[in-house]
Amino acid sequence: MVELRLYMAQRATAAIMAPLVLLHLGVMIYAIQGGLSADEILERTRGSLFWGGTYGLFVIAVSVHATIGLRNILREWFRLRGPVLAVLCWLCGAGLLIAGLRAVVAVVGAP
């Protein structure tokens, strides 16, 4: 039942990402109407639990979602199976998570 669990995890993370993408785009378009600079945006996001939580959740969802998709490609196109496939997928997931969380820290953390 590994495939079913992964299928469900990928759909669940897609359901999380979709509204967050809309929120991100909507706020971005709204915020720049008055000509906000990057520094001014960062002033508003730093220390914000809401934006930290929003982007943190998004990064976690992306890491899971993208890794499952990559796993399918590695299985089907490169015929990888077993430990090699598992190690590559965990590395990819961890890499996405670390890179993404670093970006979140840069947006909400202290300068």
Partner 1 sequence: MVDSATDSITVSVWRGVAGSGDFQDYQVPQQPSQTILDVITWIQRHLDASLSYRFACRVGMCGSCAMMVNGIPRWTCRTHVNKVMQERHLTVEPLRNLPVIKDLACDMSEFFEKWRQAEGHFQGRRSRDETVAAISPKSSQRQAANAAIECINCAICYASCDVVAWNRDYLGPAALNRAWSLQNDQRDRAQDERLKVVAGDAGCHQCHSQQGCSTYCPNELNPTASIAGLKRMSAHWFMNKKYRQRHG
Interface residues with partner 1 (CB under 8 A) are 1-8, 11, 72, 75-77
Q: Which is nearer to partner 1, 1 or 38 (CB)?
A: 1
Q: How far is CA 32 from CA 5, 7, 50, 80, in A?
A: 40, 37, 19, 46
Q: Which is nearer to partner 1, 27 or 73 (CB)?
A: 73
Is residue 77 within 8 A of residue 111, CB to CB? The reply is no
Q: How far is the CB of 2 from partner 1 (least distance, A)?
A: 6
Q: Which is nearer to partner 1, 2 or 49 (CB)?
A: 2
**Residue 85, both tokens:** 């496939």
Q: How far is the CB of 1 from partner 1 (least distance, A)?
A: 7
Cα separation, 11 vs 102, whole angstroms: 25
